[in-house]
Structures are given as C-alpha cells and as structure tokens.
Amino acid sequence: MKEYNLIQEGDVNFSETRKNWYRTMDSVAISEWLERDASSFIHQSLSTPCLDVLESCEGIYITDVSGKKYMDFHGNNLHQVGHRNPFVIEKVKQQLDILPFSPRRYTNKPAIELAEKLSSLLPAGLNRVLFAPGGTSAIGMALKLARIVTGKYKVVSLWDSFHGASMDAISVGGEQQFKQGLGPLMPGVEHINQSESYRNPFSEDSNDLHYVEQLENIIEENADIGAFIIETIRNTDVQIPSKAYWKSVREICCKHNVLLILDEIPIAFGRTGKMFAFEHFDIEPDIICLGKGLGAGIIPIAAIVARDSYNVAGDISLGHYTHEKNPLGSVAALAMLEFIESNHLLEKVKKDELFVKEKLTALQEKYSLIGDVRGIGLLWGIELVKDRDTKERAVSEAEQVMYECLKNGLSFKVSQGNVIQLCPPLIIEREQLENAFNILEIAIHSIGYPLLS
C-alpha cells in the first residue's frame, strides 16, 4: 500500500499493520464477533472492519469481550466525565421511569432547564438554543440559521476542516476522505487554504494572521458570505490558533456582518480547561455548536446556542428532528454539567495540563521521532517526523506506535497520518496518566529512532 493512503483523518482499517494486529489477538470470541460485524455492516473507512469488540466500559477504561482493558484516550471526544459515569447514569435511570421521550410539539422540564443552563454558562445574549440528535445536525441548523439571519447564503470554512459527515457538513468540511466520489456538494462554500507542508499552521510562532488575511480577501471578493464556520481549536491534530488570530477574525466578521459559527462539538465542557474553548481567546461566537460530551457519552444530544436577536425563523423549520427536546439527553447533559462543576474538573484539568506538558516536553527532548508537541488542557497532539528539519511525516511509525500502545492497553487515534492525539477522560487520575505515558514511551522507544539524550 502506498504511504499516501495512510494519511487521513484517523488510522486506516485496511493496512498491513492492522492485519498484523488481528494476528496478535488470540481470542476466538473476538475473531468470531469481528467476522459477524464485518459480514453485517457496510464497510467504511474509520469503522468496519473494527479494531476490537467491546463488552463494557467504566471511568477511563473500555473492556473487550476477552476482558482486555484499554485506557481510552480517544473516546470520540465524548467522555469528559468518564465512561458510564455513575452520577449521570443514576439521573438517566430516574428519567427513564418518568418521561423517556417527548413528542416534538411538546416540551418538557429537563429540556427547558438544559437550555437555560447552557445560556447561563455562555456570555450574555447567547441564549437561544436548539437541540438535535447529533453534532452534524447541529452544524446543519447553524448553517441554515446563518442564511436566514444574514440573508446571505455563502459560508467560509477551512480547507482541512471536519464538521460532520452529512452532505452539508462535508461541503463545508475539507477532508477528501469524506467527499471523494460523492459528486456535487452544497454550493456556496469558500475554503481558506491551509499550508499542506506544515501541519500546524496555527500557533503563536507560525504567523497564523496570514489566514486572517485570506478570510478578509474571500469575504471582500464574495458579497454573499454570511458565515465563517471553524473549530475554535482544531481537535483532531490539535491546532491552537493565537489570541491575535482570534481577535482579528472576530473584528473582520463584525465589520462585514459575517456570523462567526464556532464548532466546539468535540472540545467544549472542560476539555481545554475552560467550559468552552473560545474563553481562552477573549472572543464570543455568534452561534456555538455543541455535542458529543453534552450527553455525557450516554445519550446522543447536540445543540446550537445563538444570539437572542437571531430568533427570527419562527415560520421555518431549522431542525425538525424527532428526538429534538430529548428528555433523557437533557437530563444526562444537566448531570454532566453538575458533575463538572461540583468536582471542580476545570481546575483539575489546568493542573493536569502542566503535568502533561512537562512529560511530553521531556519525551520530545529525548526522541528525535517527536517533531512537535502541542496541547491545551487534556487535549494533546504529538507529531511524529522522520526528520526534524524536513518535518517529513513519520506515518508508518505513528501506526506502529499506535498498535504497540493498543497491545499494552492504551487506546488513542492517529490523525493526519502522523499526529498521535491524546484525549483522556477529564476524571483521569495522576497515576493513570503516568501509566499511559510509560506505555507511550515504550512504544516510541521500540521504533528505534536515534535518541537525543
């Protein structure tokens, strides 16, 4: 297989290394279940054929049908309060006995309370909420609302972005893997080109203001642009823009009456050490998209929260989802937020950030394979390179590190072919973090690249 094919949003599920991984599993039960999965589901990248078959989960762990436990440093970014959080489970169980479903033309107490709670956590004026069953649907609602509010139908996004897998979301998203072979997409999308050669275009020292210039040029050349949609911090390969970048973006959007839609679906609720990532940059969105951890990893629920003045679509259906004001999801979300607040998780994550930074910096000083380490809160990216000067991606090495870690009970995702993304539950204990870094170091060491110290 060409190495090019290994460069994609996540690890590939048809590589030689994946085949070798299956050979290391000596459980008949796992093989049988994997075969049944492969014969029943439509195969697609990043899913079937699958890595392993899960039986249970708890806290930071997922456990397979043979009893093998993995520390889950991926968790699809929805496990902020840990898997099967007992506080949340209890609240959901209680709600199951009262009102598990609410038909769309009715409302219910948990949904109203959740809408009020989200508004209370966001800056004043961001207080109009819509719920949806998943993040992609929230993105769709945000795009529709922006068209209605501004009367302009075009949108700008980043070339390499991901905002979900539906037709409208892949139209604003840039990743080829999600759109190849699918024919015409939604018109009216302009993309900001990010440098292909440099994987982390956003950072204090990489002059990310260059991308602000591109944004303004695009807006000035296209009179119909009504929105700029972007992740506040790119989750998959962890790209953290500078404060100056965000300040300029905000100013440009205000100047041109372009709504700033922040996609915080994978990174809100404490992941970065703040309830919402935009709080790091002293800016406010016009619409924020939330999801994943909103349902505490138990019930699928997503949301948009928009400015009060955008409540202008009373005669149009923006969402119309069957599970719109989902009482179970609302209860899970309220419990998740209560858990974060009463356990002071934001403060904990800030302390963990310092610890992780120290650990990863030490690894970078030791192993030439590590070209860059970047992160915030409990969201970290480790970029593996064949050569620090050329920054050539160490793609097959990243795959090998991942499978070595999986063998030793640490699960994470590789993004863009060479970026190891670490995203543990926020409840993780210090000793568990230490264990994870030991497993990671053993795996990096096993690749055999020159040691620096």
Ligand X SMILES: Cc1ncc(COP(=O)(O)O)c(C=O)c1O
Contact positions toward ligand X, by CB under 6 A?
134-136, 139, 162-164, 231, 235, 263, 265-266, 291-292, 302
Contact predicate 433/358, CB 8 Å: no
C-alpha span between 153 and 55 (Å, rounded): 46
Please identify, using beta-carbon distances, which residue of 162 and 228 lies nearer to ligand X. 162
CB of 340 to ligand X, least distance (A): 19
Closest CA to 191 of 180, 177, 176: 176
C-alpha span between 107 and 308 (Å, rounded): 20
Please identify, using beta-carbon distances, which residue of 266 and 381 lies nearer to ligand X. 266
Please identify, using beta-carbon distances, which residue of 139 and 143 lies nearer to ligand X. 139
Q: What φ, ψ does residue 145 adopt, rounded to 5°?
A: -60, -40
CB of 325 to ligand X, least distance (A): 18
CB of 368 to ligand X, least distance (A): 31
Q: Which two tokens stand for residue 451?
A: 């040691």
CB of 172 to ligand X, least distance (A): 10
Q: Which two tokens stand for residue 420?
A: 């190891």
C-alpha distances (whole Å) from 252 to each of 96, 158, 211, 246, 450 are 47, 16, 12, 10, 46
The residues with which 189 forms a beta bridge, in sequence order, are: 155
Residue whose beta carbon is closest to ligand X: 135
Please identify, using beta-carbon distances, which residue of 302 and 426 lies nearer to ligand X. 302
Please identify, using beta-carbon distances, which residue of 260 and 439 lies nearer to ligand X. 260
Residue tagged 């972007």 (tokens): 230
What residue spans of 65-165 are helical by DSSP H? 86-96, 109-121, 135-150
Please identify, using beta-carbon distances, which residue of 110 and 135 lies nearer to ligand X. 135
C-alpha span between 52 and 34 (Å, rounded): 7
CB of 137 to ligand X, least distance (A): 7
CB of 277 to ligand X, least distance (A): 11
CB of 208 to ligand X, least distance (A): 18
Residue tagged 């982390």 (tokens): 200
Give 3-state DSSP helix, strand, coil % of the chain, rounded to 5: 40, 20, 40
Please identify, using beta-carbon distances, which residue of 78 and 369 lies nearer to ligand X. 78
CB of 355 to ligand X, least distance (A): 26
CB of 377 to ligand X, least distance (A): 16
Please identify, using beta-carbon distances, which residue of 226 and 266 lies nearer to ligand X. 266
Residue type, 444: I
Pairing of strands 126-132, 302-307: antiparallel
Q: Strand 225-231's sheet: what is its strand order?
A: 126-132, 302-307, 287-290, 259-263, 225-231, 154-158, 189-192
Q: What is the CB neighbour count within 10 angstroms for residue 217? A: 12
Please identify, using beta-carbon distances, which residue of 156 and 265 lies nearer to ligand X. 265
Closest CA to 202 of 179, 169, 235: 235
C-alpha span between 153 and 147 (Å, rounded): 5
Please identify, using beta-carbon distances, which residue of 51 and 301 lies nearer to ligand X. 301
The residues with which 187 forms a beta bridge, in sequence order, are: none
CB of 162 to ligand X, least distance (A): 5
